[in-house]
Amino acid sequence: MPVPASILAAMLDHAAADPQRPCLIWAGETISYGRLAAAAAAWSRRYAELGVIRGDRVGLYLGNTPTFLAAYLGAHMAGAAAVLINTQYRQVELQHILSDSAPRVVVADAESAPHIEHTDLGLQLIIADSESFPPHPTFTIHHSPFTIQPPQATELAILAYTSGTTGRSKGAMLTHSNIASNSAAVAGAWRWTAADRLLLTLPLFHIHGLGVGVHGTLLTGASLDLRPRFDPDEVLDALVSGTVSMFFGVPTIYGRLLQAARGEKVEVLPPAMRLFVSGSAALPPQVFHDFRQIFGHAILERYGMTETVMNLTNPYAGERRPGTVGAPFPGQEARIVDVRSRQPLPDGQVGEIQVRGPHVCAGYWRNPAATAEVFGADGWFSTGDLGERSADGYFTITGRAKELVISGGYNIYPREVEERLLEHPAVAECAVRGLPDTDLGEQVAAWVVPQPAARPTTPGADAELAAELIAFCRAGLAAYKRPRSIVFVASLPRNAMGKVQKHLLT
């Protein structure tokens, strides 16, 4: 697929060719490409009136609404980069991101605006209201600011802050070229066309929702059924309605869809529904198998990250192998290297995943030390994720390099222990990490969410179940990999995309 200079350029081309082409379905209303382009142009003029110039940043602290998309595209029309801000962030996180990115303007809604004001950074604040998205504007491509100063491929498009699961979040600098080239690769691999309609419930402030879902839609001229949040019953209704063809989710979402559908066979999904994609965290093989049995579709698992958008994918046509994330997208590369020497490893050996290609970010905003830490002189980017490659080219993620547990001189990969625990019928969810140990250096510890029927209710039952789980691990794993301690919890701490925040487990 041809790669445009920017996603904005692709969107405007579709708007110019057919202003009435359906782009966005929101609350039962269809918003055309022409109307979205006109709303974006209105936002760009508003930014200019507030002093936004080329190279500035515009902060977006908004939920899933059409206004988010218009404000986002308007920032690009104005020559600015969008700073994506998690709507769950409060004073500490906001203070860090806004101080670091220094946006000229921040866009928020009435509910979130007070949190921006409490940062006391003196930022210009736009409170988006119902008039922020013009009801029926007239769109003329020649009157768009884009035709005067189009974004250049190498200019900054997005500052996307990492989820901060292991420390202070960093701003990944994604250029217009990064996101456009990656979207073209994704669209080609997943056979995304203008005929598709994506049901999107993922947050737009995250790369999965915006960088994959929205960008792919605008690139191909497809349409988007946008929802404010994930609701399993609403999603099930939409899937059987025949109005959508694609759905993107995270493992937690697919687990909840299974719970909603459990107990009765889901109707055969209409032929239009052709692709389910999962990412942002490892999809348990059992969820893959259960989903295929109930819904009749094999979920396509892929691997991406804030700094690169999408890296690896199971094939659209071919074996979607559970527990793996497939191979590199077209035009991109990936390899496994030794964590210390950075030398490539043969197939079947676990090491750090490195990627290279036009999709990799330009570095971390105002953080040259962090940039130098992950970029090699030869252009390879160190993801921090551990994995291995099979002889036939399928990559498997085994954990995070920083989460590797070294106990008594042995390397222990937490995911290996987690997968063993999940085989036990009493375990609903679990997370494994290393804790300091004066004798072994580190010891393996596990946090377990029991199945409702297995939750300890009598004195001493906790200790009995913990001993049973430790023995279960020892029976299926090397003895040194067994957990030395198990903590039972009601839930695991997760970020907005469902990724477990292991650093919060104590």
User: By three-state DSSP, how is residue 435 classified?
Assistant: strand
CB atoms within 10 A of CB 322: 17
Confirm if 42 and 134 have CB atoms less than 8 A apart.
yes
For residue 26, report the phi and psi dihedrals to the nearest 5 degrees.
-140, 120
The answer to whether residue 325 scores a pLDDT higher than 70 is yes
**Bigger pLDDT: 340 or 322?**
322
Helical segments of 208-330, H only: 215-220, 232-241, 251-261, 285-295
Up-side HSE of residue 45: CA atoms within 13 Å toward CB?
Answer: 9
Q: Find the mean pLDDT for residues 208-231.
A: 97
Residue type, 386: L
- Say which range, 3-12, 72-81, 90-99, 201-210, has the weakest mean pLDDT: 90-99
Question: Which element (helix H / strand E) includes 478?
Answer: none
The answer to whether residue 149 scores a pLDDT higher than 80 is no
Q: What distance in Å separates the CA atoms of residue 75 and residue 333, rounded to the nearest whole number?
A: 31
The answer to whether residue 211 scores a pLDDT higher than 90 is yes
Per-range mean pLDDT, top range of 80-94, 225-239, 266-280, 394-408: 225-239
Up-side HSE of residue 68: CA atoms within 13 Å toward CB?
Answer: 23
- pLDDT computed for residue 401 by the predictor: 76
Confirm if 325 and 302 have CB atoms less than 8 A apart.
yes
The answer to whether residue 397 scores a pLDDT higher than 70 is yes
Confidence of residue 275 (pLDDT cuts 50, 70, 90): very high
The token duo for 304 is 């991406």
What is the percentage of the chain residues whose pLDDT exceeds 90?
A: 67
- pLDDT computed for residue 441 by the predictor: 76
Confidence of residue 145 (pLDDT cuts 50, 70, 90): very low
| Residue 378 Cα distances to 41, 335, 354, 374, 501, angstroms | 40, 13, 11, 12, 32
Up-side HSE of residue 408: CA atoms within 13 Å toward CB?
Answer: 7
Q: What distance in Å separates the CA atoms of residue 293 and residue 140, rounded to the nearest whole number?
A: 49
The token duo for 481 is 């990999």
The answer to whether residue 71 scores a pLDDT higher than 90 is yes
Confidence of residue 167 (pLDDT cuts 50, 70, 90): low
Strands (E) located in 73-178 = 81-84, 105-108, 124-127, 156-161, 171-175
For 227-250, what is each residue's pLDDT tens digit?
999 999 999 999 999 999 999 998
Q: Find the mean pLDDT for residues 138-164.
A: 72
For 443-466, what is each residue's pLDDT tens digit?
999 999 999 887 877 777 789 999
Label residues 82-101 b or e (16+ Cβ within 10 Å = b).
bbbbbbebeeebbebbbebb
Measuring CA to CA, which residue among 53, 58, 52, 57 is closest to residue 71?
58
Beta bridge partners of 450: 427
- pLDDT computed for residue 442 by the predictor: 84
Question: Which element (helix H / strand E) includes 208?
Answer: none
Measuring CA to CA, which residue among 305, 309, 289 is closest to residue 297?
289
Q: Find the mean pLDDT for residues 101-128.
A: 91
- pLDDT computed for residue 208 by the predictor: 92
**Bigger pLDDT: 262 or 152?**
152
For 26-43, what is each residue's pLDDT tens digit?
998 999 999 999 999 989
The answer to whether residue 169 scores a pLDDT higher than 90 is no
Instruction: Tell me whether strands 410-412 and 405-407 are parallel, antiparallel or unpaired.
Output: antiparallel
What is the percentage of the chain residues whose pLDDT exceeds 70?
A: 93
User: By three-state DSSP, how is residue 394 classified?
Assistant: coil
The token duo for 410 is 């042995």
- pLDDT computed for residue 357 by the predictor: 97
- pLDDT computed for residue 500 by the predictor: 84
User: By three-state DSSP, how is residue 249 classified?
Assistant: strand
Confirm if 439 and 467 have CB atoms less than 8 A apart.
no
- pLDDT computed for residue 143 by the predictor: 47
- What Rg, from alpha-carbon coordinates, does the chain have? 23
The answer to whether residue 187 scores a pLDDT higher than 90 is yes
Up-side HSE of residue 331: CA atoms within 13 Å toward CB?
Answer: 18
Average pLDDT, the chain: 90
The answer to whether residue 144 scores a pLDDT higher than 80 is no
